[in-house]
């Protein structure tokens, strides 16, 4: 029983990170029909940007700020202007393929400039345990959960309670009408790219101390987050959050109770079931656009 509790906590912590990444997936899809297959690499890169900043002498806190800012410039602004905008005109599929190419490019560049070997990455949460309901739970797991929940809470507040959020919703639901009523649609789309870049940088900061900084670490994450987004509902932020948590827990339970070899297959099988029986995702709604 204590084993199950530990697995649930660990699964939720991993799932919270998947959720951050999956939310980014849905944001980009909703506002610009971009399926970003480089999303996993987007999570891998910020850690290396932070490491590079530390390498030139920046303290950890400054490296975090620099890493997040650089990520927003590279993975938000530059990604949109240099890749998404020119490719968008040619449809969803060419753009998706272009992001696959980008994924390979980022991976190989990191391998080239840093190394093919893993590097250690400091944790923002100190190691140690606290007792929850009589169980020892690591501070790291709790830290990851708390930061992820705060980020998601902040995002949903922005989207649902502010004028800016409402403009973003309008730009996603019906860009033409939004334009007519004076919503700066282009700026709203750019904003979602910047938010996505911020979320992946945050996910990078949380996951890298556990997974280590390595050029290939985005592969697993990108796939898990993609599955999470579809399972939850590709057109709903709350769907992506639920999907992320669910896949995190499912993955851990599968590794413990099914087998380590087949752990990666279990979320996939779940995905197939969802597509067959509830194609819009668990929380998604058919034929609707909203962020």
Return residues touching another protein (CB under 8 A): 2-3, 6-7, 10-11, 14, 117-120, 127, 129, 136, 138, 140-141, 209-212, 214, 216-217, 220, 251-256, 260-261, 263
Instruction: Compare residues 13 and 185 and give the one whose CB is closer to another protein.
Output: 13
Q: Name the minimum Å distance from CB 176 to another protein.
A: 44
279 DSSP assignment: T
Q: Which is nearer to another protein, 66 or 118 (CB)?
A: 118
Beta carbon of residue 15, minimum distance to another protein (angstroms, whole number) = 11
The residue among 72, 16, 67, 33 whose CA lies nearest residue 243 is: 16
Of 108 and 129, the one with the shorter C-beta distance to another protein is 129
Please say whether the beta carbons of 19 and 241 come within 8 A: yes
Closest by alpha carbon to 99, among 112, 78, 77, 84? Answer: 84
Shortest Å distance, C-beta 141 to another protein: 7
> Closest CB to another protein among 66 and 264?
264
- Least distance from another protein to the Cβ atom of residue 13, Å: 8
Written as six digits, the tokens of 203 are: 């996910």
Q: Give the nearer residue to another protein in terms of CB position, either 58 or 210.
A: 210
Which sign, positive or negative, has the C-alpha torsion 14, 284, 185, 25? positive
Token readout for 271 is 């995905």
Of 105 and 120, the one with the shorter C-beta distance to another protein is: 120
Q: Say if CB 160 and CB 277 are below 8 A apart.
A: no
User: Cβ closer to another protein: 117 or 186?
Assistant: 117
Angle at 231 between CA 273 and CA 190, to 5 degrees: 150
Question: Could you tell me the smallest distance in angstroms from the CB atom of residue 282 to another protein?
Answer: 23
19 three-class SS: helix
State the SS3 of 181-196: CCCCHHHHHHHHHHHH
CB of 280 to another protein, least distance (A): 29
Q: At closest approach, how far in Å is the CB of 27 from another protein?
A: 25
């Amino acid at each position: 029983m204590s084993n199950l509790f530990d697995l649930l906590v660990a699964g939720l912590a991993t799932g919270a990170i998947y959720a951050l990444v999956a939310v980014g997936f849905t944001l980009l899809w909703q506002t610009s029909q971009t399926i970003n297959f480089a999303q996993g690499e987007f999570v891998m890169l910020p850690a290396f940007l932070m490491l590079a900043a530390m390498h030139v002498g920046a303290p950890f806190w400054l490296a975090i700020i620099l890493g997040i800012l650089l990520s927003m410039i590279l993975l938000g602004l530059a990604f949109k202007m240099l890749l998404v905008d020119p490719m968008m005109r040619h449809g969803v599929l060419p753009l998706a393929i272009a992001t696959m190419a980008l994924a390979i490019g980022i991976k190989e560049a990191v391998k080239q400039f840093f190394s093919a070997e893993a590097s250690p990455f400091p944790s923002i949460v100190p190691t140690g345990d606290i007792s929850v309901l009589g169980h020892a739970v690591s501070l790291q797991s709790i830290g990851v959960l708390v930061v992820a929940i705060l980020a998601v809470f902040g995002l949903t507040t922005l989207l649902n309670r502010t004028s800016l959020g409402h403009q973003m919703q309008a730009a996603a639901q019906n860009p033409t009408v939004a334009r007519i009523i004076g919503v700066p649609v282009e700026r709203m789309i750019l904003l979602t790219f910047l938010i996505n870049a911020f979320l992946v940088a945050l996910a990078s900061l949380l996951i890298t101390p556990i997974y280590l900084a390595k050029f290939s670490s985005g592969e697993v994450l990108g796939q898990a987050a993609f599955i999470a987004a579809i399972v939850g509902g590709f057109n709903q932020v709350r769907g992506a959050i639920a999907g992320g948590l669910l896949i995190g827990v499912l993955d851990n339970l599968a590794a413990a109770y099914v087998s380590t070899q087949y752990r990666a297959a279990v979320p996939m099988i779940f995905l197939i079931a969802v597509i067959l029986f509830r194609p819009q995702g668990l929380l998604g709604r058919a034929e609707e656009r909203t962020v």
